[in-house]
Structure formats: structure tokens, C-alpha cells
Structure 1
Amino acid sequence: MKYVIVGTGNISHTYLKALRALPASEAVGFISRGKTPGEAEGHLPCWPSLAAVDRPFDAVIVTTPNGLHHQSAIEAAGLGKHVLVEKPLDISQAAMDDMIDAAARHQVILAVSYQRRTNPDNQAVKQLLGRQAFGRVYSADLSCRFWRDQAYYDSAPYRGGYAIDGGGVFMQQASHNIDNYIWLFGMPERVQGELDTFAHRMEAEDHGAVVLRHADGMIGTIVASTCAPPGYPPRLEVSCEKGTFTLLNDRISEWHIAGIDNPATRVEPAPDDGASSPAITDSSRHEAVIEDFERAVAQDGTPLAEGNDARRATDLILRIYRCRAGSR
């Protein structure tokens, strides 16, 4: 498949690296409003809009700021191109509705890069949960204690705001982990929490804690922060009828489950580029997302994080933000 990458920010180069690692995939160029037509990015041409692209392509990868995702996704769908969106799908329910409707209307695949779903240990836990192998799950405690310095938030006027970023640490840095939580345990019935801004000059939150109550009685917690230097890998601790286990950066680090062998693929946790920096140096999980996306296109199937499913992370985060406003 041939791709046009929309946006030329930091994450776009992770996708370019991933595409170049896959022999059946190819990046043909970028969309950039900040470059002159024909100017190169990553040794590839740039165009001002998808309509201006003068080379054949099959799909777009949208890497623009969060609140602009719907613009490129809807434009691409109208051109009959499949769409892979960097997380989150978008920052409002109306925008996500429009994106999903456009993809359905033009019969193209819409997927989101929630690449933590591709990790083998997460998938093993997902399968065991699906078989109810753990018995009743009592609790799931997710800790996303990251670090960003003030220079990160000062690097663009929209960072840490609601209009374009869609919020702070919950919408931006912890979105991947929140998606993985929902993928494993489903959406909660009730949400209660506290959010605030402590260590940074920014509009939205840089720290918060929420308690989630699920229909089956499970109590979940999520702590998300960008004021926890030096930044720590995300941690998910689960207690259930059969015992306990822990996922550290998506790899099983503790396994005390009666009667079930540890399905961990490796013992040590994966390196987590995002805990202390927005730069992602390891593109392997993005490669897995692209391969899954291409399988869905080839087989007219469903990608691992298709639009309707992937939107749930934003839906939950918006419910969390209502806690800050004093609403449940």
C-alpha cells in the first residue's frame, strides 16, 4: 500500500520509519501547510492538501494535532482513501461521529493507532479475560506517571489546551493506556475523580486521579500525570479471584494466578520512549499497527482499533473531564 502522511511533526517521522521497515508499504509524501509545494520532508515531496497530491496512493496516515484529525480523515474518505489516525480519534463526540459517518459513507477503513493493543502480553491477557479464566476481576489499577518539562508545553501554542490538544495528560499522554484499559475491561458505569494543574503553565490538567465502577462490580483506578520526573513506564495491576498480575509497559512483570501458566513473551519490560519524552525511537509497534491496517483493507475486515471501538477512549476521557467541571 502507498501512503500519504498528513502532518510533519515528530510522530510523522515514526510512521515514516515504520513504513520504510515494511517491504510491502511505501510513503509517497507528506501534507504540510507549513512548507512550500514541492519542498521535501524526509527526502519525500510535500503538498499543501490531499487534493493536490499528484501521485497514486491508497491511504493516509493522519498525524496532525488531535483536534484537527477529523479534517484530514473526512477529506481522505471523500477521496476514497483508507484512513489511519494517530491517537486519539479526535477530541469531541461530534467530530468522531463525522469521521465515522464519512468512512462508512465512502466505504473506507478507519482505524486508530492504539498500538498497545498489538503487544503479545496484552493480547494474552485479553484472551484470558474473554474466557473468564481469572474468575471475578476485583480491581484494575492503572498508573501513568509521566514527565514533560515546561519547554514541551511552550513548544506550540496549542499544547496543554482544550481547543486543539483536547486537554492535558488524560487526552494526550495517557490516551494509549486508557484505550488499553477499556479494551481489556470495557467501559465503566460510573466515574469520579479529581484533576488539577500543578507543575506547568497550561490550561488543562497535568495530574489527576479517577475511580471507575464497572457493571460487574469491578473497581478501577487511573492516575495520570506529567509532573512525575523523571517519568515512569505505565503500570497496570490487576486483582482477581485467581490471584494477581502486573503489566509493566505492556509486558507481564508479575504473575501470581492459580492454575494458569504465565503467558509472558519476555520477562523484562519494553523500553518506554513516551514516559519522559514525546520522541518515539522504536517504531516496531507502529509497524504492527500498519500491518494490521493493511490486513483489514485487503480482507475488507476490521482493524484492531477501528473507529467505533477506538472512540471509546475519547468518550471516557470526556467523562473524566466533566469531573473537573464538577459534574458526574
Structure 2
Amino acid sequence: MRYIIVGTGNISNTYVAALQKLSGSELVGAVSRAGRPLRMAPALPVWSDLAEVDREFDAVILATPNGLHHEGAVQAAALGKHVLTEKPLDISRAAMDNMIAACASAKVVLAVCYQRRTSPDNQSIKKLLQQQAFGKIFAADLSAKFYRDQAYYDSGVYRGTWAIDGGGPFMQQACHNIDIYTWFFGLPKKVTSLLGRFAHEMEAEDHGAALLQYANGMIGTLVASTAARPGFAAHLEVHTEKGSFTLTDDRITFWDIAGISNPADTQFNYTHDGATSAAVTDTTAHETIIRDFEAAVRTGSEPLASAESARLTTELILQIYANDIAQTVHAP
């Protein structure tokens, strides 16, 4: 498959590196409104708009800021091109609906790079959940306490804004972890949250907590932060009638479930944790997502992170923002 990357900021480097390792995939150019070349492939042509691309290509990778994903997806669909977008799907319900509808109408694949779903341990837990192997689950607690300095937020005028980033750590840094949460447990029936801004000059929150109530009685908690210096590994603790387990950065690090052997994959070695930096140098998981995306195009199978599935993650985050009882950061 031949790709155009839309957006040439930092995250584009990860996709360039991943594509360079895949023999059946070819990057043929990029789109940048500012005319900025790809840092890792400076010889490739750059166009200012997708409509101007004069090379043959099959799909786009959207590496633009969160709130612009729908624009690239709708334009690509109109050209009959498949779409793989950086997370999240987008930041509003209307935008997500528009891009899903456009891609469905054009009969092109729309998938999201929620690469943490490729973790073997996450996949093992997902299968056990589908089999209802744990019995009743009564608690699931996610902590994503990361750290970013002020320079990070000053590096782009859109960072930490509602209009483009879509919020703070819930929508940006922790959405990968929240995606695993919704992939496992779906949406709650009630959300209550507290959001605050403690360590940065920015528009959205930099720390918050949410309390989730599920229809089956499960109580969930989510904490997301970019103010928790120096930054900590993300962990998810799950408590069930058969025992408990913990995932730390997508690896099973504690297991005490009656009658079920620990399914941890000791060979899994994905190195990006996100605790202190957004830079991704290990492209293994992105390569897997791209291969999965190409298989979906080729066979008509559902992508690992389909648009409809990824939409649940943004939906939960939007509910967290809408149900902030403090109302100190004025979420839209």
C-alpha cells in the first residue's frame, strides 16, 4: 500500500520509521499546510493540500492535531482513499459522526492507531473478558499519572486547548490507557468527575479524577495527569470474584485469579510508556497496527481499533469533561 502522511509534526516521525520497516508499505509523500517536510524523509514531496497530491496512493495516515482528524478523513474519503488516523478518533461527537459516515459512504476503511491494543497481555485479558472467565468484576481502577513540563505546552499553540487538542491529559496523553479501559469494559451508565489545573499555564485540565458506575454494578475510577512529577507508569488494577490482576504499561505485573493461569507474555517488550515524553522510538506496535489496517483493506475484516470502537473512548472522555462537578476549567 502507498501512503500519504497528513501532518508533518513530531508524531509523523513514528509513522515514517514504522513504514520504513514494512516491506509491503510505501510512503510516497506528505501534506503540510506550512510546507514543512518530513524530518525523517526530507526528500519526499510535500503538498499543502491533499487535493493537490499528484502521485498514486491508496491511503492516508492522519498525523494532525486531534481536532483536525475529521477534516483529513472526510477529504480522503471523498478521494476514495482509506484512512488510518492517530488517536483519538476526534474530539467531538459531530466530528466523529461525520468522518465515520463519510468513510462508510465511500466504502473505505477508517481505523485508529490505538496501538496499546496490540499488547499480547491486553489481548489475553480481552479474550478472558469476552469469555466472562473472571465472573463478576466489581472494581477497575486506572491511574495514568504522567508529567509534561511547561515547555511541552508552549511548543504548540494548540496544546492543552479545548478547540484543537480537545482537552488535557484525559483527551491527549491518557486516552491510550482510557481506550484499553473502554475496550475492556465499555461505557458506564454514570460519570462523576473532578478536574483541575495545578502545574501549567493552559486552557484545559492538567489533573483530574473520575468515578464511574456501570450497569452491572462495577465501580471504576480513572485518574489522568500531566502534573504528577516526575511521571509514573500507567497501571490498571482489576478486582473480580475470582481474584485480582494488575496491568502496568500493558504488561500483566500481578496475577491472582483462581483457576486461571497467568497468561502474561514474557517476550513482550514494547518500550514506550508515555510517563515523561510523547516521543515514540519503538515502532513495533505501530507496525502491527499498520499491518492490521492493510489486512482490513485487503480482506474486509474489522480493524483492531475500528472507528466505531474507538469512538467509545472519546465518548467516555467527553462525559468526564461534561460531568466535572468542580467546573474549574470550563470544559465546553
Q: How does the TM-score come out when normalised to structure 2?
A: 0.95
Using the TM superposition, give the Cα deviation of residue 305 of structure 1 relative to its aligned residue in structure 2, in angstroms. 1.0
Alpha-carbon deviations, 1:170-228, whole Å to 9, x = none? 00001111111000011111101100000000010000011111111111100000011
Partner Cα separation in structure 2 for residue 146 and residue 40 of structure 1: 27
Pairing of 1:6-155 with structure 2 (within 5 A):
6-35=6-35, 41-155=41-155
Alpha-carbon deviations, 1:213-268, whole Å to 9, x = none? 11111111000000112211210001101111000000100111111111000188
Partner Cα separation in structure 1 for residue 276 and residue 168 of structure 2: 15
Counterpart AA for 1:130: Q
Cα distance, 1:39–1:238 mapped onto 2, change above 3 Å: closer
Q: Percent identity?
A: 60
Counterpart AA for 1:109: V
Pairing of 1:93-242 with structure 2 (within 5 A):
93-242=93-242
Counterpart AA for 1:95: A
| 1:284 matched to 2:279 | no
Alpha-carbon deviations, 1:82-109, whole Å to 9, x = none? 0001000111111111000100111000
Asked whether the 8 Å contact 1:36–1:48 carries over to 2, the reply is no
Counterpart AA for 1:299: T
Range with greater deviation from structure 2 (31-40 or 195-204): 31-40
Partner Cα separation in structure 2 for residue 294 and residue 282 of structure 1: 20
Counterpart AA for 2:250: D
Partner Cα separation in structure 2 for residue 142 and residue 148 of structure 1: 19
Aligned equivalent of 1:251 = 251
Partner Cα separation in structure 2 for residue 147 and residue 56 of structure 1: 41
Partner Cα separation in structure 2 for residue 268 and residue 97 of structure 1: 35
Aligned equivalent of 1:263 = 263
Range with greater deviation from structure 2 (235-244 or 269-278): 269-278
Partner Cα separation in structure 2 for residue 192 and residue 40 of structure 1: 43
SS at match of 2:192: strand
Partner Cα separation in structure 2 for residue 49 and residue 177 of structure 1: 32
Cα distance, 1:249–1:37 mapped onto 2, change above 3 Å: closer
Counterpart AA for 1:298: R
Structure 1 gaps of 5+ residues are none
Structure 2 gaps of 5+ residues are 328-332
Counterpart AA for 1:323: N
Using the TM superposition, give the Cα deviation of residue 43 of structure 1 relative to its aligned residue in structure 2, in angstroms. 2.8
Using the TM superposition, give the Cα deviation of residue 38 of structure 1 relative to its aligned residue in structure 2, in angstroms. 11
Partner Cα separation in structure 2 for residue 114 and residue 228 of structure 1: 23
SS at match of 2:45: strand
Using the TM superposition, give the Cα deviation of residue 271 of structure 1 relative to its aligned residue in structure 2, in angstroms. 2.7
Partner Cα separation in structure 2 for residue 219 and residue 136 of structure 1: 12
Cα distance, 1:326–1:53 mapped onto 2, change above 3 Å: same
Cα distance, 1:286–1:32 mapped onto 2, change above 3 Å: same
Aligned equivalent of 2:330 = none
Aligned residues: 327
Counterpart AA for 1:171: M
Cα distance, 1:326–1:22 mapped onto 2, change above 3 Å: same
Aligned equivalent of 2:305 = 305
Using the TM superposition, give the Cα deviation of residue 323 of structure 1 relative to its aligned residue in structure 2, in angstroms. 2.0
Counterpart AA for 2:20: R
Asked whether the 8 Å contact 2:37–2:44 carries over to 1, the reply is no
Partner Cα separation in structure 2 for residue 203 and residue 37 of structure 1: 30
Using the TM superposition, give the Cα deviation of residue 324 of structure 1 relative to its aligned residue in structure 2, in angstroms. 2.5
SS at match of 2:147: coil
Alpha-carbon deviations, 1:249-292, whole Å to 9, x = none? 00100111111111000188743342101111111110111011
What is the RMSD of the two structures over their aligned residues, measured on CA atoms?
1.8
Asked whether the 8 Å contact 1:251–1:267 carries over to 2, the reply is no
Using the TM superposition, give the Cα deviation of residue 42 of structure 1 relative to its aligned residue in structure 2, in angstroms. 3.5
